[in-house]
């Protein structure tokens, strides 16, 4: 498997000279399992992914949504391959709302909030609503969703491809004093864990003059490391960076993480991880 990061922020895009190295686009991650394409979420990062995919038409891909909060869907109408006939996309998602994933995305592209409807798309779309425990299988992969703790619900996903595995677990709030059983099961012996590390302990718990972020649906680097260690995960990626954290701040969090889990890295736009490699790529802050 090869993993490429196109959007690594949470909550909302963050674009200025202090965040340009890590990148300011919201959640979008591409995974290649042989010749099959898997995409997690369509935050603003999918816009640049779409530009890249236009170089390899026709495109057949699978788009999995963790959930449908703005930062995970706001790039959907701007993905160029969606408008090209001959392309095909399988769309997967689950929501605690009484609506299908197709209905949610359709409402996003409706007046008065958006000027065009999805009927202008030229590509072929197939929509699939998932429940925790469902298994989606492709030619080379198996994907299993599991419930995470987040307002309105969220899925974590495990991909198994041959003898390699990765877990994508963003937008998850940890429980104090105990590990999430659902996530721990997903992570068992995984090669790679991509985890919601949006807050520092001070931010989450309201220490050092901060206000508390408890109940906001996100986690910390240290809680992610606990899951990685308990699940015997080989590599750990800090993800879903807070938009208020500039490059230098994220670099300090990564340095702290490496002290307790050396085989770790903070996600940045353009980061590519090949699971054939025993070590992670060079850090942006090395």
Query: If DSSP codes are grouped into helix, strand and coil, which group holds residue 139?
Result: coil
**Does any domain span residue 8?**
yes
pLDDT at residue 227 tops 90? yes
Phi, psi of 37 (to 5 degrees): -110, 130
**Does any domain span residue 40?**
yes
Residue with tokens 């919601």: 196
Half-sphere exposure of 191 (CA within 13 A, CB side): 19
Give the pLDDT mean for 19-27: 97
**Does any domain span residue 112?**
yes
Report pLDDT digits (tens) over 128-157. 999 988 999 999 999 999 999 888 889 999
pLDDT at residue 216 tops 90? no
Q: How many domains does the chain fold into?
A: 1
Residue with tokens 């674009």: 15
pLDDT tier at 212, thresholds 50, 70, 90 = confident
**Does any domain span residue 130?**
yes
Residue 150 is predicted with a pLDDT of 85
Q: How many CB atoms lie within 10 A of CB 119?
A: 7
**Does any domain span residue 279?**
no
Among positive and negative, which fits the CA dihedral 65, 66, 68, 69? Answer: negative
Q: What is the maximum span of the chain, computed from C-alpha positions, in angstroms?
A: 55
pLDDT tier at 226, thresholds 50, 70, 90 = very high
Query: If DSSP codes are grouped into helix, strand and coil, which group holds residue 28?
Result: strand
**Does any domain span residue 155?**
yes
**Does any domain span residue 281?**
no
Distance CA 147, CA 155 (A): 5
Q: How many CB atoms lie within 10 A of CB 162?
A: 11
Whichever domain contains 67, its CATH number is 3.60.15.10
Parent domain of 132: 2-274
pLDDT at residue 179 tops 90? no
């Amino acid at each position: 498997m090869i993993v490429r990061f196109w959007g690594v922020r949470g909550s909302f895009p963050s674009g200025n000279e202090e965040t340009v190295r890590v990148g300011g686009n919201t959640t979008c991650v591409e995974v290649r399992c042989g010749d099959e394409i898997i995409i997690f979420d369509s935050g603003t990062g999918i816009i640049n992914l779409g530009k890249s995919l236009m170089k390899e038409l026709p495109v057949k891909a699978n788009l999995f949504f963790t959930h449908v909060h703005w930062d995970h869907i706001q790039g959907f109408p701007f993905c160029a391959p969606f408008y090209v006939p001959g392309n095909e996309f399988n769309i997967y998602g689950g929501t605690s709302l009484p609506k299908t994933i197709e209905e949610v995305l359709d409402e996003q592209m409706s007046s008065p909030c958006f000027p065009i409807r999805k009927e202008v798309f030229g590509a072929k779309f197939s929509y699939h609503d998932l429940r925790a425990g469902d298994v989606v299988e492709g030619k080379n992969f198996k994907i299993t969703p599991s419930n995470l703790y987040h307002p309105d619900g969220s899925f974590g996903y495990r991909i198994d491809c041959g003898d390699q595995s990765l877990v994508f677990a963003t937008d998850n709030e940890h429980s104090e004093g105990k590990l999430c059983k659902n996530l721990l099961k997903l992570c068992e012996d995984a090669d790679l864990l991509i985890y919601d590390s949006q807050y520092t302990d001070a931010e989450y718990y309201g220490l050092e003059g901060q206000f508390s972020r408890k109940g906001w649906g996100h986690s910390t680097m240290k809680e992610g490391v606990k899951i990685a260690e308990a699940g015997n995960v080989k590599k750990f990626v800090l993800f879903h960076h807070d938009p208020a954290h500039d490059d230098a701040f994220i670099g300090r969090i990564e340095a702290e993480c490496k002290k307790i889990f050396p085989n770790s890295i903070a996600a940045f736009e353009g980061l590519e991880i090949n699971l054939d490699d025993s070590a992670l790529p060079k850090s942006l802050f090395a």
